Chains A and B, each alone.
Chain A
Amino acid sequence: NAGVTQTPKFQVLKTGQSMTLQCAQDMNHEYMSWYRQDPGMGLRLIHYSVGAGITDQGEVPNGYNVSRSTTEDFPLRLLSAAPSQTSVYFCASSPLVGRGNTIYFGEGSWLTVV
């Protein structure tokens, strides 16, 4: 199993450009989510999904869009990149139910907006 796969690993964008961060998991997990990690801020939840066709906002959703058309994929879209979106982005997945279920993270995508 590949686990959670994120692409690209590194990206530089100009202010105002758009792009999509890709996330795929091969564990048939219902739950997928996106976090951003900033220095001194820890990881913060951007958007999450509990299954195909269902998405919801997390703590810091502004400037980001998501969709979930399949169980495997959960792309994160930046429609008009801003320097404040310079960050490291992590995708995660887990089974939807069960107190003993752990969450799995991808390797991260480093995004710089200039």
Chain B
Amino acid sequence: KQEVTQIPAALSVPEGENLVLNCSFTDSAIYNLQWFRQDPGKGLTSLLLIQSSQREQTSGRLNASLDKSSGRSTLYIAASQPGDSATYLCAVYQGAQKLVFGQGTRLTINP
């Protein structure tokens, strides 16, 4: 059974710092991996989707990497801003549409 783990559960950093969020998964036979952002009381917003054949994806200040052999993905956030404060969720696709989620990392950026 696929298990997805995100460490740390919570992270607080000062504004302007570069930071890395970690995601690990137990079964390397994944279809895709996706990072989401969730604001309090809201749904999930897709940040980056990495297909299993890809090593990384970039969008603005965000960069996500994927290493299937080691069962790891990282989300790098450059020059963090208070508006980046949210919970970040990593999800692994088991097949084309079934997602297995990690528990999330709650990120706080302090002005």
* Contact surface of A with B, Cβ cutoff 8 Å: 4, 31, 33, 35, 40-45, 48, 50, 58, 90, 94, 96-100, 102-108
Contacts and interface: CB of A to CB of B under 8 A. Distances in A.
Contacts of A106: 43
A90 to B, nearest CB: 6
A45 B96 contact: no
Given A40-B103, A48-B98, A90 B4 contact: no
Contacts of A102: 34, 46, 49
Contacts, number: 61
Given A100-B49, A103-B46, A105-B44, A45 B103 contact: no
B29 to A, nearest CB: 14
A44 B2 CA distance: 12
Contacts of B52: 99
B97 A48 contact: yes
A90 B44 contact: yes
